[in-house]
């Protein structure tokens, strides 16, 4: 019997039928779903670097979202697929857990806290392109924050309550509470102070302006730091704005209990 050579069209048709027998009808939703799952499993098994699009809960604008954007403006970073907050594992682990809980409540997906080897740093990580895209739309900056002169989002600027929680997120990451000691005529005097440091001029200006808006008296002696020196101002700050970082609260409570 003579063997006829198949045309390219016939070869393609036979190949398509074979794939259909293997995976189901690729023209149906179910067939495409099976194909997508097989592809995802293959990428995961071979560690190709392929990212799955993780579905998220899309949060509304809220005090929690404003605080998270303040945190990201301070010690955060947003890339194409991940949003991270880097902090000190020895002094700020409680705040790292707070950041992880914020991410999880807002977006409804798993958040990890990773400790870096040979350092005291820990990193809160959320891996989701959809979450990162959403954060950028809400005012976060993707990539280098200082190079892009990051400032507060306009929807935060327009709302007094959102401004306060954004400031809380900023200070909890880039701020510190300290005690100055002075010796005068042999007697030691202690003064409580607060400092917020950041190299983004728009953030620094907004931080100072918003403290003044609530009746505080911040000072700025350098281009990169704002201070509160009056003890009544510091008490008022923690009453009006508060803190989600137990490290700051502990120092303030300890000072006023002396």
Query: Percentage of the chain surpassing pLDDT 90?
Result: 67
Encode pLDDT of 202-226 as tens digits. Answer: 999 999 999 999 999 999 988 999 9
pLDDT at residue 114 greater than cutoff 50? yes
The band of 4, judged by pLDDT with boundaries at 50, 70 and 90, is: low
Please report the beta strands in the chain, taking only residues with DSSP state E, as ranges in sequence order.
Answer: 76-78, 82-88, 112-115, 121-127, 175-184, 187-197, 225-228
What's the mean pLDDT when you consider all of the chain? 86
Q: N- to C-terminal Cα distance for the chain?
A: 105
127 SS3 class: strand
pLDDT at residue 34 greater than cutoff 90? no
10 Å Cβ neighbour count for 32?
14
Rounded to 10°, the helix 231-240/246-256 angle is: 140
Strand pairing report for 76-78 and 112-115: unpaired
Write the CB contacts of 177 (distance below 8 Å, at least 6 apart in sequence): 192, 193, 194, 234, 248, 251, 252
Encode pLDDT of 174-211 as tens digits. Answer: 999 999 877 777 777 788 999 999 999 999 999 999 99
Predicted local distance difference test score (pLDDT) of residue 45? 61
Mean pLDDT, residues 119-145 taken together = 95
**Tokens of residue 202, six digits:** 């728009």
Of 126, 105, 106, 124, the closest CA to residue 116 belongs to 124
pLDDT at residue 6 greater than cutoff 80? no
Predicted local distance difference test score (pLDDT) of residue 1? 47
Predicted local distance difference test score (pLDDT) of residue 11? 47
Scanning the structure block, which residue is given the tokens 């700020």? 92
What DSSP element (H or E) covers 69? Answer: helix 63-75
pLDDT at residue 165 greater than cutoff 80? yes
Separation between Cα atoms, residue 15 and residue 10, nearest integer Å? 9
pTM: 0.78
pLDDT at residue 91 greater than cutoff 80? yes
The band of 40, judged by pLDDT with boundaries at 50, 70 and 90, is: low
Domains in the chain and their CATH numbers?
63-151 (3.10.28.10), 173-256 (3.10.28.10)
Mean pLDDT, residues 48-69 taken together = 85
**Tokens of residue 184, six digits:** 């005068």
18 vs 162, more confident: 162
10 Å Cβ neighbour count for 195?
16
pLDDT at residue 12 greater than cutoff 70? no
pLDDT at residue 154 greater than cutoff 90? yes
């Amino acid at each position: 019997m003579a063997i006829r050579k198949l045309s390219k069209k016939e070869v393609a048709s036979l190949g398509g039928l074979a794939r259909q027998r293997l995976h189901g009808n690729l023209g149906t939703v179910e067939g495409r779903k099976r194909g997508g799952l097989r592809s995802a499993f293959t990428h995961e098994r071979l560690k190709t670097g392929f990212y799955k699009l993780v579905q998220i809960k899309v949060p509304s604008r809220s005090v929690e979202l404003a605080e998270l954007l303040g945190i990201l403006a301070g010690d955060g970073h947003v890339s194409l697929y991940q949003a991270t907050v880097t902090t000190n594992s020895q002094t700020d682990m409680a705040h790292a857990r707070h950041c992880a809980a914020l991410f999880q409540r807002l977006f409804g997906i798993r958040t990890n806290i990773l400790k870096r080897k040979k350092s005291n740093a820990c990193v809160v990580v959320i891996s989701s392109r959809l979450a990162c895209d959403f954060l950028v739309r809400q005012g976060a900056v993707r990539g280098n924050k200082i190079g892009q002169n990051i400032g507060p989002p306009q929807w935060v600027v327009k709302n007094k309550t959102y401004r306060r929680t954004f400031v809380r997120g900023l200070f909890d990451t880039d701020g510190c509470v300290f005690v100055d000691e002075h010796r005068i005529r042999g007697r030691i005097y202690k003064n409580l102070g607060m400092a917020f440091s950041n190299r983004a001029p728009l953030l620094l200006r907004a931080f100072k302006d918003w403290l003044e808006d609530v009746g505080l008296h911040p000072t700025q002696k350098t281009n990169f730091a704002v201070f509160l020196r009056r003890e009544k101002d510091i008490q008022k700050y923690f009453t009006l704005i508060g803190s989600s970082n137990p490290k700051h609260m502990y120092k303030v409570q300890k000072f006023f209990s002396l």
